[in-house]
Amino acid sequence: MTNHKIVIAIDGHSSCGKSTIAKALATRFGYVFIDSGAMYRAVTLFVLRHNLMVDGEVNREELLHSLPEIKIEFRYNPERQSSDTYLNGENVEDEIRQLHVSQNVSPVAAIPEVRESMVRLQKEMGKNKGIVMDGRDIGTVVFPDAELKFFVTASAEIRARRRFDEQTAKGEMVSLAEILENVLERDHIDSTREASPLRKAGDALVLDNSNMTREEQLEWVIKKVKETLGNPE
């Protein structure tokens, strides 16, 4: 049985390489890859552009009023061989990755109505299976029946260093200290919020990749997918 498709849920802490693993798995098995964090980042960009965030506090009433106007889509970009995130028809893929968005996303993602709206879209995207989705609540809330769940983590210092290298390679002027602070702050908000907090699903496999190379991680997750598909070779 190798041609049946499954749902693969990948959750974990900030900047631990979930998207990299998810993208590689999707390519390897011909699955759709969805970065659910990009959706919360796009909503956050909308909030920032419409001045709906003051001193770290979201103007909830205004945001909820605007929520039906926020249209988020993914469109395949053949140049990057990956999907770009669009907010109301505009490609915002680069901007949503910047630190000012990372610094404001967790309070926005903690709003239950925002989550309900994103989770509805995410469930719809996974209804035909053959999907790898990464985020914070994928194995617990979005796809609790996913056939395979991973929970990825690494030490905060290592995660911050990886994100710092990624951002500076893109030419963004950031310091390692502010990235580490952001990683820790998001971990805290994401894990302690009331609505769908970040936690490991009971049936998720833990991957601590602090001391693993990309290749080692990939080899491990591919093996787990093959086992789940009933094809361990």
Q: Would you tell me which residues interact with ligand CDP (CB under 6 A)?
A: 14-15, 18-19, 36-37, 40-41, 105-106, 109, 135-138, 186, 190
Which C-beta is closer to ligand CDP: that of 218 or that of 229? 218
Q: Name the amino acid, one letter, at 191.
A: S
Which C-beta is closer to ligand CDP: that of 42 or that of 225? 42
Q: Name the amino acid, one letter, at 193.
A: R
Which C-beta is closer to ligand CDP: that of 40 or that of 74? 40
Closest to 208 in 3D by CA, of 193, 223, 196, 220: 220
Nearest approach in angstroms of CB 170 to ligand CDP is 14
3-state secondary structure (DSSP) of residue 86? strand
Nearest approach in angstroms of CB 94 to ligand CDP is 13
- C-alpha to C-alpha distance for 209 and 17, rounded to whole angstroms: 9
Q: Please list, residue by residue across 200-212, b when 16 or more beta carbons sit within 10 angstroms of its beta carbon and e when fewer do.
A: bbeebbebebeee
Nearest approach in angstroms of CB 39 to ligand CDP is 7
Which C-beta is closer to ligand CDP: that of 37 or that of 126? 37
Order of strands, edge to edge, in the sheet holding 90-91?
A: 72-77, 82-87, 90-91
- C-alpha to C-alpha distance for 88 and 46, rounded to whole angstroms: 9
Nearest approach in angstroms of CB 106 to ligand CDP is 4
